[in-house]
Amino acid sequence: MRFYSRGNYLVKNKSQADFDGILLSETNYAAGLASYWHFHENPYFTFILNGGSIEERKKLSNACVPGQLLFYSSHVPHRNSNYQPSSRNFNIEFDKNWLDELGVTVTGINDVFLPDDINSKLMLLNIFKEYRQNDGFSKIGIQSTGLKLLSSISKKEKEDKYLPGWVKPIAELLNDCCDKNYSLRELSGLLYIHPITISKNFPKFFNCTLGEYIRRTKINRSLSLIKKPDLSLTDVAYSCGFADQSHFTRVFKQMTGFLPGQYRRF
């Protein structure tokens, strides 16, 4: 089995920048490329910007597609195959020694695929924006958001064990049907949950209002659709339930820091 030390991946990084404890990089993969089983020295996140691959972990196999976020604990075996043309990833790698100095522990976090975790994706895209901008304020922004991202995954795993029975069904419905615009009464009827229960408790478990969460699910869906060359941005807007492209553009820029056209070109 192969071992990759800090900053090393299957291919040479197209670009990278070190922010004292957090190493950011972009990697490009040729079509059809495949890796051996391997593991990495440090924990890291990967965000699929373009293309994708088939990834295997212990009893898990997953088709990695644009807009998907994945987390890897250190020293956990995995392999990738069938890379698609123009595949490109953005990586956030945390130096273990730096985390130890800060007293941050990640050993309790399981390896996870995060296809619908829009909150984590928005934090990652904020880091990507800082990485691209890279001015005098980027370092502290990247470090603080990076630690918040790492903490959010750990917290989410712990909280998922104690959620009320209605939380996962409403999240699944809103994520699966992000092209629809349900009213509070419709949600209540579909899930047999009283409207007051939703209104009063939703922010407690989702860290945002119901309306804000619905916007986030629509943007989450758009992250993969934008990368489809056969879809116009207007098509993407309508597919995600926005009234028009202008509305979609405003919300996308507000949440990700990028215009949809900019994100499509990455």
pLDDT of residue 115: 57
Note the pLDDT of residue 223: 94
- Name the band, by pLDDT with cuts 50, 70 and 90, for residue 258: very high
What value does the mean pLDDT take over residues 122-149?
A: 93
Answer yes or no: same fold for 2-160 and 164-265. no
Q: How far apart are CA 52 and CA 48, in angstroms?
A: 7
Lowest mean pLDDT among 14-23, 25-34, 87-96, 110-119: 110-119
Position 157 confidence tier, pLDDT thresholds 50, 70, 90: low
The answer for residues whose C-beta is within 8 angstroms of residue 107's C-beta and 6 or more apart is 73
Structure confidence by residue, pLDDT tens digits, 193-213: 999 999 999 998 888 999 999
Mean pLDDT, residues 119-135 taken together: 92
Evaluate if residue 107 carries a pLDDT over 70: no
One CATH from 2.70.50.60, 2.60.120.10, 2.60.120.370, 2.60.40.2220 for 2-160? 2.60.120.10
Strand spans (E) along the chain: 2-4, 13-18, 22-29, 38-40, 44-50, 53-57, 60-64, 69-72, 79-81, 87-94, 112-114
Q: pLDDT (tens digit, 9 = 90+) per residue, 26-78?
A: 999 999 999 999 999 999 999 999 999 999 988 788 899 999 999 888 888 99
pLDDT band at residue 109 under the 50/70/90 scheme? low
Given this model, what pLDDT does residue 103 score? 87
Answer whether residue 153 shows pLDDT above 90.
no
d(CA 244, CA 233): 10
Residue 39 near residue 1 (C-beta atoms within 8 A):
yes
Q: Domain coordinates of the chain in residue numbers?
A: 2-160, 164-265
Mean per-residue pLDDT for 9-20? 92
Q: Quick count: other Cβ atoms within 10 Å of Cβ 170?
A: 20
Question: Rounded to 5 degrees, what are φ and ψ at 72?
Answer: -125, 125
The pTM for the full model equals 0.88
Does the pLDDT value for residue 112 go beyond 80?
Answer: no
Token pair belonging to 81: 């195959």
CATH of region 164-265, choose from 1.10.10.60, 1.20.1050.10, 3.30.70.100, 3.90.1150.10: 1.10.10.60
pLDDT of residue 249: 97
